[in-house]
Amino acid sequence: MDIKLGKNDKKYIEGTDDVFNIMQRILLRENKIDRDKEHFWIIGMNEAGFILYIELIALGTVRSVPIEPMNIFRVAVMKNATRVIAVHNHPSGALMPSDADKQITDRLIQVGRILNITLIDHLIISTENYLSFRQIELMDELEKSLDYVPTYQVIEQIRKEEKKIAKEKLAVEKDKTKTAQQKATEIKEKADFEKKILINALLEKDVSIENIAKILEITPKAVEKIIANKATK
């Protein structure tokens, strides 16, 4: 059932207080008998937060209200809503979400993802107060849940994570190898530089290449190579 906004009701949503103010007035419009039953509404919005519709999805008993995700998103699809907010009341006045409240919210999040319609929040209201799933960070928790995610999507997500981890591990190993190679190169260059200085000093003292080779414990050809490299630089 489509719910009409009153003249004093805001036509766009800026925060949870706006949602409660609108829905509180809608709840109070009901007669006492219906007010003591659980209602489940959906507010459909565009990207800018303007309200496209408010739909009463179901009217239940004093303790529960039956919900089918298909009915919740049917109107959203028809009216091109890209964001929705779920609202239901607890006639008892107790606002803490039940396991059933959490489960239906979890399901709505997943169905919304398939349809590319975001469930922004779920409010539990009474005639005097409200609780926001988003404000108590329950939405964040449910958005990470895999309980109602299709199996193929879970497998795909796991594979993506495995590929990401493997890629990061490979990058770390490459960095380690590169660092080891750099260190080895630096050590060799330092040793060659020291040898050049020593060879130069020994040559100035007229020490033969053969004797220099014995001192450095390398071959005469290696000494000659170092001298040749020195001459080209």
Please answer whether residues 90 and 37 qualify as being in contact, where contact means their C-beta atoms are separated by less than 8 angstroms.
Answer: no
What's the whole-number mean pLDDT along residues 49-75? 86
Q: 68 vs 72, 104, 111, CA distance in Å?
A: 7, 9, 11
Give the predicted TM-score (pTM) of the model. Answer: 0.63
Closest CA to 43 of 7, 88, 6: 88
Closest CA to 89 of 116, 62, 68: 62
Does residue 205 have a pLDDT over 90? no
Which one is predicted more confidently, 170 or 119? Answer: 119
Last residue of a domain, one of 111, 129, 149: 149
Domain carrying residue 25: 16-149
What are residue 56's DSSP bridge partners? Answer: 41
For residue 232, the model assigns a pLDDT of: 47
What's the whole-number mean pLDDT along residues 135-162? 76
Q: In this predicted model, what pLDDT tens digit does every residue of 88-129 receive, in sequence order?
A: 999 989 999 999 999 999 999 988 988 899 999 999 999 999
Strand order in the sheet with 51-59: 51-59, 39-45, 83-89, 118-125, 130-132
Give the Cα separation of 115 and 198 in Å (integer): 76
What's the whole-number mean pLDDT along residues 163-173? 74
Give the Cα separation of 105 and 128 in Å (integer): 23
8: three-class secondary structure by DSSP: coil
Give the Cα separation of 123 and 27 in Å (integer): 13
Q: Are residues 143 and 160 in the same domain?
A: no
Give the Cα separation of 62 and 208 in Å (integer): 107
Q: Are residues 142 and 164 in the same domain?
A: no
Q: Is residue 215 part of a domain?
A: yes
Which one is predicted more confidently, 41 or 35? Answer: 41
For residue 36, the model assigns a pLDDT of: 86
For residue 96, the model assigns a pLDDT of: 93
Q: Are residues 164 and 114 in the same domain?
A: no
Last residue of a domain, one of 87, 122, 149: 149
Give the Cα separation of 125 and 49 in Å (integer): 20
Beta strands in 9-50 (DSSP E): 39-45
Q: Given pLDDT bands bounded at 50, 70 and 90, which one contains residue 155?
A: low
Last residue of a domain, one of 115, 132, 149: 149
Give the Cα separation of 85 and 5 in Å (integer): 16
Amino acid letter, 48 = A
